[in-house]
Structure 1
Amino acid sequence: MALATALSACSSGGGFSPRSWISGGPDAKAEQETLEKFAPVAVCPDVQVRDGTQMMAVFEKGKEGDYSAIRFQGTIRKFARECRTDVSGTTTVKVGVAGRLLAGPNGATGAATLPVRVVLVRNGDEVLYSKLYPLDVTIAPGSAAADWDLVAPDVVVAGDKSQGNFVIYVGFDESKKK
């Protein structure tokens, strides 16, 4: 009985466990993984759709601006983020964006490329990250729409830049077309 009490006292605190007795000590790799997994998150910015970029019309070639010639209309419907800060203070944010491609008035099917941009801004005007993701989306014959999604896994805030007000903007970027 005394042995059982002594063993239970060792395993309830102080960092000793039967596993460390068998292996010869604590597992440094497991401890590092635990520290990273449970590190407090330094920065986790809100995600917003930039005004005027939540919808995008895709026109027939040569008929840009003619709303009777819309082949497709892309929309952004959902967005989310997941933040993780490592032990060095660097935060990695995964940004998810999802939407739908709708057939235009003439019921077109086929493929369209939707230019989705993800931007991380600090203090209203300092761009820390900006990347354009061209998404190829296809509306199958017999369908009037297709869902799409994107995950931007590499939005990073360095530990030395983790102070301030942050916002992640998502939206369609048609600037390359103009």
Structure 2
Amino acid sequence: MSDGSSGGGNVVNNALFGAPNKNLQNATIVNAENFGFAVDCPPVAIRPGTEELKVIANGKPDPLTGAGPPVVYQATINDTARECFKSPNGGVVVKLGVKGRVAAGPAGKAQTVNVPLRIVVMEGRDKVLKSDLARIPVSLAAPSYAADFTKIDDSIVVPLSEGNTDFRIYVGFDDKAAGKGRG
């Protein structure tokens, strides 16, 4: 059995990827790394304590049981994702995605709620480059009274730096913007 060493390459490799092309022997393969498009994305994190939002009904605790007012709805952030590319002016454009779910509680009903999601871009530990509050409308309807939501933000731009290690993006619910108590 031939090992393909007569200039034809490995037989299995040739079957999968095609035989080597003699015309491309000295060619430079262009990819994102050597073409100048590869950029490092700043990390994204859900700020601890803001991954969940409970909106509680108005009222006082039950005088007999001491139980607090019931939950109207609860929202959770399930996932984040981002992709980055170099902008024409030399910065890094970050396309950020946030995915979550809202579910009605015992005091819930069919309604549209506006979930307050805050996106903060930081440089270092204390310099805020951007802080935006998005109110995401989520419709809760029978029979489940629950729904998923998605927020895509492609307006984040950070300066280009080695590894973009000086920048961080935080997401989380802003309970002060919700105007209701947290549970």
TM-score scaled by length of structure 1? 0.70
Offset of residue 115 of structure 1: 0.5
Match in the other structure for 1:55: 52
Paired residues of 1:39 and 1:87 also in contact (CA < 8 A): no
Q: Compare the two structures and name the one with the higher helix fraction.
A: 1
Gaps of 5+ in 1: 1-7, 15-33
Match in the other structure for 1:175: 176
Offset of residue 107 of structure 1: 4.7
Rate the CA distance shift 1:77–1:48 in 2: closer, same or farther, 3 A.
Answer: same
Match in the other structure for 1:165: 166
Aligned partners of 1:112 and 1:59: how far apart in 2?
13
Aligned partners of 2:88 and 2:153: how far apart in 1?
22
Matched, 1:39 2:40: no
Paired residues of 1:68 and 1:105 also in contact (CA < 8 A): no
Offset of residue 174 of structure 1: 1.8
Q: Deviations over 1:31-51 (max 9, x none)?
A: xxx99xx53444411110001
Offset of residue 88 of structure 1: 3.8
Aligned partners of 1:92 and 1:76: how far apart in 2?
23
Aligned partners of 1:171 and 1:106: how far apart in 2?
24
Rate the CA distance shift 1:167–1:160 in 2: closer, same or farther, 3 A.
Answer: closer
Letter in 1 for 2:54: A
Aligned partners of 2:39 and 2:47: how far apart in 1?
24
Seq. identity, %: 34
Gaps of 5+ in 2: 1-21, 62-66
Paired residues of 2:80 and 2:99 also in contact (CA < 8 A): yes
Letter in 2 for 1:116: L
TM-score scaled by length of structure 2? 0.68
Match in the other structure for 1:119: 120
Q: Deviations over 1:65-102 (max 9, x none)?
A: 98532110000001011100135421000110000001
| SS state at 2:176 partner | coil
- What is the RMSD computed on CA atoms of the aligned residues? 3.4
Rate the CA distance shift 1:96–1:63 in 2: closer, same or farther, 3 A.
Answer: farther
Letter in 1 for 2:134: Y
Offset of residue 122 of structure 1: 1.3
Between 116-125 and 85-94, report the one with greater CA deviation.
Answer: 85-94
